Structure 1
């Protein structure tokens, strides 16, 4: 709003004094009536700038895609000219009879002012509003590209962690033990391992997934880890069905579980407890803190990745609340963007 008013003031002043200089050879006009025309020019340009915004949106790259590019460009230019003609009638032709009733304006002058109005409107549309729209589009494309990069990185990190030799070695050890001790549980463990990989691969390149899909991954991963750690790990969730259609970045919740297990020790007597709840538009992942004796160096890459992805998706921040007794992460639950 302020930007458009300032631009209209500067443009109206420049165009008015240029026209005065061309006609009279001076920049100063003593007649008050002439400066009333300056106000009309300011009103004309401000209204023009205001209408240029919806026109630029109407003919944006994602609109009217069925039209050929040349026809779309021609229709866009015609729309700008028609609006300028309507404003020329509303701000110059009619008001001048009230503001300057004694002025005699020739048809040649009227045609000239109409042409100048159309040229001004086209100039400011293509060099101001369209440029502004182009920059906004570039910023949006950059944001989408960065978000896609972060999503790919998250998927790569999740897959890399799951195929890490240490993870596979431990999983195969658990599987080998279960084959002899409890074949049914061994089959179950193998199915859970398969479910984890399938859920990771199913996320694709989407920047957001429904919470119910992310929770399917979380449940598969939690079941796998509970089978591996036994009574030393407990994962609980309390997510009402009303929140299951909300959106989250893929693998974000699974990465939080993975971090909790990676950085905390656990025994059957002192189990690691991870609780997932949803309320007030937030998904809360909380675990009790039990630092491992063989502390694993934290790079914070997982949390940073989640925070960066949310930065590109929303203004709502990821809340990280570490205390001596617990570690809490609150993820905003998002809604699908408007079409």
Structure 2
């Protein structure tokens, strides 16, 4: 970085004289030729005054930047479409996906990104916007037909919570198998003899089934599989389990929303949690800590998943040529429904 002293040495003047010339001090007594020489040398050495450096630094700070080395100029026009797999009503009833939306919208607002939300049921009506967006974020799990439809309209896709196109698209995920393995291991270590699972047919069920079979505590009648992640499905499944001659001693509810239904069914029959049946779940939605008893659950970082997807979008617009997957972590949150002491005995 060129300093006033460098210019003074080149022009045979003092640093104070150079400073006064560059600040256009009218009271300075100096020949016109000397003034021109100082300014010429300053230009040749690409001198920047402290004020200029500060202004340039502020301009750089205002440049749009993802959380990587990819950057965009601040005047870049940004146009993003987000497709949600759930209907508006389904999304509102699931805080996990609501949190993902909040993460997307907050990050878009921060960077002044033009955002259009739509749903898988409205793909045909939004064909024009899909085609002209710089990228499309797809939230949730889509049918093969919907995936193909979106891909035909726009090849710059970023999936959240699924990765159906593998290396053909970007994705933001958490490791379902690893998270489920840790959770089910806690169930096994608690000494459970009749663990139950309530959820749909995916990695969480597969991990539960495999690990409980390996430990000789698998009971097929205690696995309740549904296509829905909702309070009602949790309530109905738990009611069926309680109609059996032998109750489960632990219930793994695939999501906190399902767990709310499980609680309702258990408490309607005046069964005590966790004394008679323990309950453990995934997501850590805000309601989880306020249930009675508070719900032990695996925290997933849904808002951050939405933010990370927008960061991937910014990288794509900035010129990233390769596909990229972001894998977020998870954290066990121990509360009253399945106390940590259960696995430490």
Larger-Rg structure: 1
- The structure with more helix, counted as a fraction of residues: 1
State the structure with bigger RCO (CA 8 A, min sep 6), 1 or 2: 2
State the TM-score, normalized to the length of structure 2: 0.31
- The structure with more strand, counted as a fraction of residues: 2
